[in-house]
Amino acid sequence: MLRFWNSDVLRNEVGVLEAILAKLQGRTL
């Protein structure tokens, strides 16, 4: 399960999206 705070999403939107994509692809960061 991935959990992001709203402030993290607003500050680091690209990083959050990359983390979600990596999770969906079964990769670990």
pLDDT at 17: 87
pLDDT at 6: 76
pLDDT at 26: 84
Annotate 1-29 with b (16+ C-beta within 10 A) or e (fewer). Answer: eeeeeeeeeeeeeeebeebeeeeeeeeee
Average pLDDT for residues 22-26, to the nearest whole number?
88
pTM of this structure: 0.50
pLDDT at 14: 86
Average pLDDT for residues 17-25, to the nearest whole number?
88
pLDDT at 12: 79
